[in-house]
């Protein structure tokens, strides 16, 4: 159950890769052939960016070929990307120990998505021993760095008292941070808490505001709940 509550892994590999990884260095003005030439000459940043092209195209075996030297050179974006491939067994055999090691190196250099995935691996005990204290540390690091999904999951842990003491004010803070960045799950959660007065004072204005935001994004729960909430708030 805890594992399901704390699902931090990618909604889609490509979308996470694009949205949470910065280009290691701006050499993206080069053509694909120029990037390859630079990578063959040993430029680790070019190797990362060239491998990134194959990652996005889902040509994972070719991506690994170029991400490996970039990762070995200490490019944190390459370490994270390679970790994703090892964690999910894409283009290579699944190896959670290697994935954990790569995430740890990348997270230590500030890659937010790596912090997020490292937290998940500590929480589940994948690729390393289960360690809830370290999991929470890295999840907070990702949340404080502004990752909406990490903020949502941190709020969920505080709301449910999962592995940490229940703390509704902190849950509201993190759900709100995530919701303000457009996370529809956080928006829906806030609306439900305010409407149902779940450990907070009922606030129909906030409930309607957040459920409408979530519904605008196609959140199926919010769409089903929208009219019930509007009528319920009107009658109250």
Domain ranges of the chain: 1-145, 147-236
Residue 164 in tokens: 């940490």
CA dist 52 and 215 (Å) reads 33
pLDDT score at 198: 80
Can you tell me the distance from the alpha carbon of 116 to that of 118, in angstroms, rounded to the nearest whole number?
5
Instruction: Read off the pTM.
Output: 0.83
Helix-strand-coil split of the chain, %, nearest 5: 70, 0, 30
**134-162 residue pLDDT tens:** 999 999 999 999 999 999 999 999 999 97
CATH of domain 1-145: 1.25.40.10
Distance (Å, rounded) from C-alpha 100 to C-alpha 89? Answer: 13
Residue ranges in the chain whose pLDDT is less than 50: 1-23
Give CA–CA dist 39/134, Å, rounded.
36
Domain 1-145 shares a fold with domain 147-236: yes
Radius of gyration of the chain (CA): 20
pLDDT at 236: 57
pLDDT recorded at residue 16: 42
pLDDT of amino acid 163: 83
Q: What is the pLDDT of residue 217?
A: 86
Tell me, what's the pLDDT at 234? Answer: 62
> Is residue 59 exposed (0-12), middle (13-18) or buried (19+ Cβ within 10 Å)?
middle
pLDDT at 1: 39
CATH homologous superfamily of 147-236: Tetratricopeptide repeat domain (1.25.40.10)
- Does residue 142 contact residue 119 with C-beta atoms inside 8 Å? yes
Q: Give the span between the Cα atoms of 181 and 179, in whole angstroms.
A: 5
Q: Which of these, 111, 192, 123, lies nearest to 153 by C-alpha position?
A: 123
């Amino acid at each position: 159950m805890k594992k399901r509550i704390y699902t931090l892994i990618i909604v889609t590999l490509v979308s996470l890769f694009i949205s949470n990884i910065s280009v290691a260095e701006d050499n993206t003005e080069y053509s694909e052939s120029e990037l390859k030439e630079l990578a063959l000459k040993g430029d680790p940043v070019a190797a990362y960016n060239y491998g990134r092209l194959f990652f996005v195209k889902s040509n994972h075996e070719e991506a690994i070929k170029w991400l490996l030297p970039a990762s070995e050179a200490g490019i944190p974006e390459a370490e994270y990307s390679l970790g994703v491939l090892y964690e999910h067994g894409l283009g290579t055999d699944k190896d959670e120990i290697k994935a954990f090691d790569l995430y740890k190196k990348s997270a230590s250099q500030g890659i937010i998505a790596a912090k997020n995935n490292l937290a998940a691996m500590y929480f589940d005990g994948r690729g390393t021993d289960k360690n809830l204290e370290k999991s929470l540390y890295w999840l907070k690091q990702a949340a404080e760095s502004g990752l909406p999904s990490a903020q949502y999951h941190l709020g969920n842990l505080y709301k449910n008292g999962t592995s940490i003491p229940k703390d509704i004010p902190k849950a509201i803070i993190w759900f709100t941070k995530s919701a303000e960045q457009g996370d529809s799950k956080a928006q829906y959660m806030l609306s439900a808490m305010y409407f149902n007065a779940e450990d907070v004072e009922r606030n129909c204005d906030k409930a309607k505001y957040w459920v409408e935001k979530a519904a605008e994004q196609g959140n199926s729960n919010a769409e089903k709940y929208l009219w019930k909430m509007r009528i319920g708030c009107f009658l109250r």
